[in-house]
A and B are shown apart, each in its own frame.
Chain A
Amino acid sequence: MTSVVSLAPPESQPQRFRGMRVFMVNKAAVIGLILLIILLLATLFAPLLTHYQPMRGFGRPLLPPSSVHLMGTDDLGRDVFTEVLYGERVSIIVGFLSSAIAFVVGVIAGSVAGYFGGAVDNIVMRITELFQVVPRIFLVIIMVALFGAHVEVTAIAIGITSWPPSARILRAEFLSRRESDYVMAARVIGASHWHVIVREILPNAISPMIVTATLNVATAVLLEASLAFLGLSDPNVSSLGRMLQGSVQFLQIAWWMSIFPGLVVVFIIVSINLIGDGLIDILNPKLRQ
């Protein structure tokens, strides 16, 4: 059925530019975007920003911040600034990877449930509700503890527990569109279910999903940091959450071990939430939460 041209009304070019303009006018969202870009560049060019290597001690332990160690050193003499720059990588990789996984699962579950309706919808939505009610942190802890605290295990565990909201949103979009004229027209011509779902409805229904996917990145960063804080992180890689676990017993004497990694986690999450809020304003002012 590849010969069938999409019958869905195409989103016009000027409208997309309008979206861009609304986003750029939203001051908070622009600040979020700039902050995120700075954070991404900092971790990407980490080797240029510090002449220390991660996971190795270079100074005396527990030195306060100075010109030699911008954020001080930790209990093993490691440079906190270097650890923060490299530790950001895990947060960002897990954040985006698990959001992508949740997006894919959410698209499949949401579109199948919303398009076919009836018994299929009922079963898929019950599974969705199940994943929403179950305390996620424990499910993720069990998976990561059993299968090993590697970056990819963590990302998969977080991804497959965070798709329910996006599936629900997409299902609602599909339910409201599956009876529309362009879907009917495509069916009359003899388009396959696959074509109708992927080429007709999905391109029109996907935009609210972008918001959820963005906010999922923030939640995933928080969850990854929580796991590392609880001792579930790859011991060979720098991680902001694990730094914050190590800092607890030195709070009385080394505030810098806690403040700097924590601020970076907060900056990552705030920047993504600001961008998400901006996207809500563009895509659907009514969705604003």
Chain B
Amino acid sequence: MRAIGLYVVRRLAWAVLVCIAAATMTFLLIRLAPGNPVSILAGDQSTPEYQAALTRQLGLDQSLWVQLVKYFQQLGHGDLGYSFTYHTPVASVIEARAAPTLLLMGLTLAISVVVGIWVGVHTAVRRGSKLWGAVEGATLVGYSLPAFWLGQVLILIFGVQLGWFPTLGETSDLGATGFAHIADVTWHLALPAATLGTIEVALISRLTRSAMVEALGSDYMVAARGKGVSQRRLVYRHALRNALLPVVTVIGLELGWLVAGFVVVETVFSWPGLGSLTFAAIDARDYPVITGLFIVITVSVVLANLLTDLVYLMIDPRIRVD
């Protein structure tokens, strides 16, 4: 029991440390960059009064240590800085855009995990089958597709040629409520979700396949087969259970990479979430928003990984013994 407590404390401390390190990285990068941190953080068109106020607030005329301490005090209060293009605090800019991203990410990730594992298991078990061989080849191509281009191809086929789906935004009927509103959003969600889903399924199925191939070749499989366990049970109860843990770990590590997918896909489809916000912030060189997004997304990814660790603790007895 004590070992578990120690494990949880260690993971928690690590999570906090990663967030502090990420914030420190942005702090140092802004100070190392060519140009004056005041104009980077206040924007080129800012008034001298605003620049002076910002300098006082962030201690930009004092030593680097004082600046770092002030920066962390500010972050501690949940203050991510002030956006000079939106004229509001960065935290509220991000908050206003979070829901569409969570909807898009959550939906595609949930579907992709199920489909990706299913495809991965079959490409591993049915090696030698023509059909599943072709599917494996398709996953390699899917994994190599730039998300922002796949999105454009889907727009060309299903939006422009066939006209089945809308290609821009989250809604077209602003007055719709209740069920009509849900249907409208789902309609708009189809193409961006299909774009991200294709790439995620390719990635997850390739991870699952390699973990399954290794699990299927292990000694306990020979033993189980010798015992006369049925093929179905062999694959799902014995091999997949062991293959799943490394797959989940890698999905956790790849979350940071999946972020890249939604940033560009949201930009293609003008989906009003954090990805389009990133694009707009880059365009305006609104650094407080860019660094704020970096910190918020790092914290989310770290929390997701922490959650995975705790789920492991419950389902994998080996961790408790260690």
Contacts and interface: CB of A to CB of B under 8 A. Distances in A.
Contact of A289 (B22, B34, B147, B206): B206
B148 A244 contact: yes
A224 to B, nearest CB: 10
B36 to A, nearest CB: 12
A260 to B, nearest CB: 11
Interface stretch (B63-71, B99-107, B153-161): B153-161
A207 B2 CA distance: 42
Interface in A230-289: 230-232, 244, 247-248, 251-252, 255, 258-259, 262, 265-266, 269-270, 273-274, 277, 286, 288-289
A259 B153 CA distance: 7
Given A251-B156, A265-B146, A135 B256 contact: yes
A141 B146 CA distance: 17
A262 B29 contact: no
Interface residues of A, number: 46
A143 B267 contact: no
Contact of B297 (A132, A138, A259, A262): A138
Contacts of B34: 146-148
Interface class of chain B by DSSP: helix
Nearest to A232: B282
A138 B259 contact: yes
A146 B40 CA distance: 9
B30 A262 contact: no
Given A138-B294, A232-B282, A133 B302 contact: yes
Contacts of B141: 266, 270
B18 interface: yes
A289 B301 CA distance: 24
Contacts of B293: 138
Interface string A51-83: 000000000000000000000000000000000
Given A229-B146, A231-B283, A262-B149, 20 more contacts: A130-B18, A132-B256, A133-B301, A134-B21, A134-B25, A134-B301, A135-B294, A137-B260, A137-B263, A142-B287, A142-B291, A225-B146, A230-B267, A251-B159, A255-B160, A258-B156, A266-B141, A266-B146, A269-B145, A289-B209
8 contacts: A134-B25, A134-B256, A138-B278, A147-B33, A222-B144, A230-B279, A247-B152, A259-B153
